[in-house]
């Protein structure tokens, strides 16, 4: 047995083996399709219309070589306008956006000041850079201030607006205040807020009117927006900087026109989806009421991500199996994705979930956890 196979055996023993499951039957409390856009016929027909004028199957090269087009630049301007900023740079996914952006900003003149719960893609970006890195306690303004006070030189604070595992929300206004006070730049990953928050689904930064206080936002399209891809939005100089230093942008074939067309159609569609957003916020409120009435250990979250703490990898897998048998699909999140002891079932709530499905979910939990 080689060392790679031994590592797999070790994972199996610890109930940590990752697999590629096919979608199970049952009510969806696990996907990131918060607004139902991934299955929306109206969005699909907008995307098909946008795709009819496309002439090339592939982009043929990096954006810096043969892969650029006036269409790509037009779509990026559409994105920048929507997000009330100067420029946007599209990446194939949020992961590639984060590793490209953060690694090129993590220079030796910079200290990254990161919330301890930022996503793996931001952490990987930080690891690829050469800057000093410090972490502050999750969502703690006191801890952030303490770190900022102790750092001399250029500082870059990295947070998420809605945290992917806990579903809680960054105190963005206070974070922005501190960044101004300590002359730090601020980067906000809006992966779980994009499409969901803001009058037209712009994300939390614009909902709070903080877009001029933030250096860059990462908006991703595979969750609320129901498609695929991502963009970094911010000032023009930052786009120029990425074109020169972001390795996942420079050394990779550009997204093809189909991806740009889908992104463009999604942005055109987004402002007309306030009914879906309202439905989502209403059903989330129903879930939160049920959560507050229940006796279990929940992470306090106001968003569409709600987590039930069930310590232990084996225990959390057993509960997710029981839920699946009861018709509820929800994912067990295990160590090392979350810290030991904070293993959880993560429930993602969607505009298309119903009160009856949530009632069933809570009945199934009670039957399992109280028996
Ligand atoms: C906070 C956050 N940022 C970035 C990403 C990566 O985005 P994508 O799935 O588009 O690669 C994710 C995905 O899970 C995420 O949760």
Q: Among 3.90.1150.10, 1.10.10.10, 3.30.930.10, 4.10.520.10, name the CATH number for the domain at 3-30+274-370.
A: 3.90.1150.10
What average pLDDT does range 90-118 have in this prediction? 98
pLDDT band at 371 (very low <50, low <70, confident <90, very high): low
The answer on pLDDT for 113 being more than 80 is yes
Identify the residue whose C-alpha is closest to ligand 1 atom 3: 191
The answer on pLDDT for 76 being more than 70 is yes
Contact 63, 72 (CB under 8 A): yes
For 330-366, write each residue's pLDDT tens digit: 999 988 888 899 999 999 999 999 999 999 999 999 9
Tell whether ligand 1 has an atom less than 6 A from the beta carbon of residue 248: no
Distance separating alpha carbons of residues 129 and 260, to the nearest angstrom: 28
Give, in order, the Cα–Cα distances in Å from 311 to each of 13, 28, 314, 334.
17, 23, 9, 9
Taking the centre of ligand 1 as the mean of its atom positions, its distance from the CA of residue 222, in whole angstroms, is 8
The ligand 1 atom at the shortest distance from the C-alpha of residue 96 is 11
Taking the centre of ligand 1 as the mean of its atom positions, its distance from the CA of residue 121, in whole angstroms, is 7
- 3-30+274-370 and 42-271 share one fold: no
pLDDT given for residue 313 in this prediction: 85
| pTM of the shown model | 0.97
Distance separating alpha carbons of residues 16 and 20, to the nearest angstrom: 13
The ligand 1 atom at the shortest distance from the C-alpha of residue 230 is 10
Give, in order, the Cα–Cα distances in Å from 27 to each of 43, 280, 289.
22, 15, 20
Tell whether ligand 1 has an atom less than 6 A from the beta carbon of residue 230: yes
pLDDT band at 157 (very low <50, low <70, confident <90, very high): very high
* Closest listed residue to residue 189, CA positions, set 140, 256, 125, 108: 125
Identify the residue whose C-alpha is closest to ligand 1 atom 7: 94
Fold adopted by 42-271: 3.40.640
Taking the centre of ligand 1 as the mean of its atom positions, its distance from the CA of residue 2, in whole angstroms, is 32
Q: What are the sequence ranges of the domains in the chain?
A: 3-30+274-370, 42-271
């Amino acid at each position: 047995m080689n060392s790679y196979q031994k590592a797999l055996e070790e994972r199996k023993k610890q109930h940590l083996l990752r697999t590629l499951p096919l979608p199970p039957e049952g009510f969806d409390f696990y996907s990131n399709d918060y607004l139902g856009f991934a299955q929306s016929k109206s969005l699909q027909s907008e995307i098909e219309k946008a795709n009819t004028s496309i002439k090339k199957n592939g982009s043929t090269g990096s954006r810096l070589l043969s892969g650029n087009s006036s269409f790509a630049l037009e779509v990026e301007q559409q994105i920048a306008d929507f997000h009330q900023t100067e420029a946007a740079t599209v990446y194939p996914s949020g992961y590639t956006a984060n590793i490209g952006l953060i690694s090129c900003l993590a220079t030796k003149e910079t200290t990254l000041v990161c919330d301890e719960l930022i996503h793996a893609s931001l952490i990987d970006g930080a690891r690829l850079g050469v800057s000093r890195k410090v972490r502050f306690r999750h969502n703690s303004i006191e801890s952030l201030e303490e770190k900022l006070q102790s750092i001399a030189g250029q500082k870059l604070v990295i947070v998420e607006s809605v945290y992917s595992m806990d579903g809680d929300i960054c105190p963005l206004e206070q974070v922005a205040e501190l960044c101004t006070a300590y002359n730090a730049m601020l980067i906000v990953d809006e992966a779980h807020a994009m499409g969901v928050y803001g009058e037209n689904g712009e994300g939390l930064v614009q909902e709070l009117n903080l877009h001029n206080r933030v250096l860059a936002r990462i908006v991703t399209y595979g969750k609320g927006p129901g498609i695929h891809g991502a963009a970094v939005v911010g000032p023009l100089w930052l786009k120029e900087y990425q074109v020169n230093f972001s390795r996942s942008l420079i050394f990779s074939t550009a997204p093809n026109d189909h991806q740009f067309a889908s992104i463009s159609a999604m942005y055109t569609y987004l402002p007309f989806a306030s009914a879906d957003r309202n439905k989502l916020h209403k059903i989330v409120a129903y879930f939160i009421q049920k959560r507050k009435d229940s006796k279990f250990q929940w992470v306090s979250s106001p968003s569409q991500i709600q987590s039930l703490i069930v310590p232990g990898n084996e225990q959390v897998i057993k509960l997710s199996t029981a839920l699946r048998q009861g018709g509820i699909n929800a994912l067990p999140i295990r160590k090392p994705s979350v810290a030991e002891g904070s293993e959880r079932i993560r429930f993602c709530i969607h505009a298309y979930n119903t009160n009856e499905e949530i009632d069933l979910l809570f009945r199934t939990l009670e039957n399992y956890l109280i028996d």
